[in-house]
Structure 1
Amino acid sequence: MTGPHGVTVTLGDLHAWLRGHLGPDADLHGDPLTPVTNLALALEPGDLPDPPGTDAVWLHRSRHVTPGWAHVPRLTSHDGFDAALTTGENWPLARALGWQDVRAVTLPRAAGLLATPPQATWPELVTALEAEFGGSEALVPPERPDVTRLALMNAMRPELLTAVAAEGARVYVTGQLRPGALAAARQLGLGVIAVGHRRSEAWGLRQLAGDLRATFPGLRTEIHP
């Protein structure tokens, strides 16, 4: 395929773009000069046909690749994808949901965003997030129904809840509910929305596919399953 300037888009071009957007853990397996017209994206090899039947694949988790994949050009990213497109420092999600006054939060072994959502109440916020992610895994209502500030974080531990509450957060949004942190959430009066680990990854996969199509016009992407 050719890119916006009539230049053939290669596996190396896609790799360079991924490293720029997802960080240095974006990896490449195959000849960088391989032309790519069809790209399959999946969270893990088991979500794809074996072999995939496309020019190249992008995988979040690349373990358990079978011998049938030996000659399949592939791109991978684990930590960078999690950090940028799930429940970490996910700026595209903030833009998609219309969050305001957004700033990054970096804490020991955790990262995310603090933001003001357009929804003013807990029920409205839950509705908006469930519509965006296609549901949720667990909901813990806050002490007060009004929502002035939320935290989107890629981990859930008592000290993280305490830190974001001190910054004004009323709701804690994360991927997976951690029962060991529930007592701290209740003590702080925080609401918790756990959207689900795989749901957050699926959101990131859709976002990544859309970003690639926007950057490389003519590139066809297939999301699996």
Structure 2
Amino acid sequence: MSEDRAPTLGDLADWLSAALGERRPVLRPSSGPIHTLALALEPHDVPPELSADALFLHRSRGVGERWPGIGIGLLAVHDGFDRHLTTGPNLRLAAKLGWQDVQLVEWERASGLLATPPETTWDALHAALRAELGGEDAALAPESAARPRVALMNAMRPELLQRAAAQGVSVYLTGQLRPSAVKAAQALGLGVVALGHRRSELWGLRQLARELEAAFPGVRTQVLGQR
């Protein structure tokens, strides 16, 4: 494929399979080149009239055959997107934030990573996270004033907090704050940032769009559902 030639839906599907580790991302096939690719978390985020050659969905339930027009290709990746582009073992986010000493972990039916951010204080780390993600749902400062070490995990339970603290983590990052685990975090002296389920997914969608445009210069992307 030449650098600026528009890919087919099959080309995009092959790339998604390799990048996100999920087979059969094609939900509805199409023919012809893909010049414009729309990306959305779910059908609800897509307008009735969509000007695109293909659409990527994170959650495809409810898309049916009703929409959005004849000939448009549909791609969908759920588990691989969650694993690689939201909270959990998100090496892309770690690289974007300049984290070092990254270690992938699998604990108690949960996955994620441990890392050392470049920021040397809680306030600086907190600001960097808010700047990159565009906000947060909730935050709790750590007891220690030492340089932070973080865990980015796809779940929040007391036993996971205990494992993180035992590994020298001082700030626990996840999607949603679990009230049942807040007392455990406070008892351990851990800081917590709930980045937000949808907010972290939208970060992943924007990152995926950037990577697709880099891999396929002939494609223009549009990320839908941002508010």
Shorter-chain TM band:
over 0.9
Contact 1:105 1:111 in 2 (8 A): yes
Deviation at 1:145, TM superposition (A): 2.5
After TM superposition, which residue ranges in structure 1, 4 or more long, deviate above 4 angstroms? Answer: none
Identical pairs, percent: 54
Task: Tell whether the 8 Å contact from 1:3 to 1:217 is kept in structure 2 after alignment.
Answer: no
* CA distance in 2: counterparts of 1:7 and 1:140, whole angstroms: 48
CA contact (8 A) 1:26 1:78 kept: no
Question: Are 2:174 and 1:210 equivalent residues in the alignment?
Answer: no
The aligned counterpart of 1:147 is 147
CA distance in 1 between counterparts of 2:14 and 2:30 reads 10
How far is 1:144 from its partner? 1.2
TM-score, normalised with respect to structure 1: 0.93
Deviation (angstroms), 1:141: 1.1
Q: CA RMSD in A?
A: 1.6
8 A Cα contact 2:122 2:148, kept in partner? no
Q: For the Cα contact (< 8 Å) 2:158–2:184, is it kept in 1?
A: yes
CA distance in 1, matches of 2:24, 2:157: 28
In the alignment, is residue 30 of structure 1 matched against residue 28 of structure 2?
Answer: yes
Counterpart secondary structure, 1:184? helix
Cα displacement (A) at 1:35? 1.8
* TM superposition shift of 1:50: 2.0
Matches within 5 A, 1:49-198: 49-65=47-63, 67-69=66-68, 71=70, 72-198=72-198
- Over 3 Å counting, the alpha-carbon distance change for 1:216 and 1:94 in structure 2 is same
Deviation at 1:23, TM superposition (A): 1.5
The one-letter amino acid of 1:207's match is Q
For structure 1, the residue ranges without an aligned partner over 5 or more in a row are none
Q: Deviations over 1:163-195 (max 9, x none)?
A: 111111000011110001011101111000111
**Range with greater deviation from structure 2 (206-215 or 45-54):** 45-54
Q: Distance in 2 between matches of 1:26 and 1:145?
A: 47
For structure 2, the 5+ residue unaligned runs are none
**Is the partner of 2:164 in helix, strand or coil?**
helix
- Structure 2: distance between partners of 1:97 and 1:26: 31
SS in 2 for 1:69: coil
1:11 aligns with 2:9: yes
What is the Cα deviation at residue 108 of structure 1?
2.5
C-alpha distance in 2 between matches for 1:201 and 1:3: 31
Aligned residue type for 1:79: D
* CA spacing shift, 1:145–1:3, aligned 2, 3 Å: farther
Q: Which residue of 2 aligns with 1:48?
A: 46
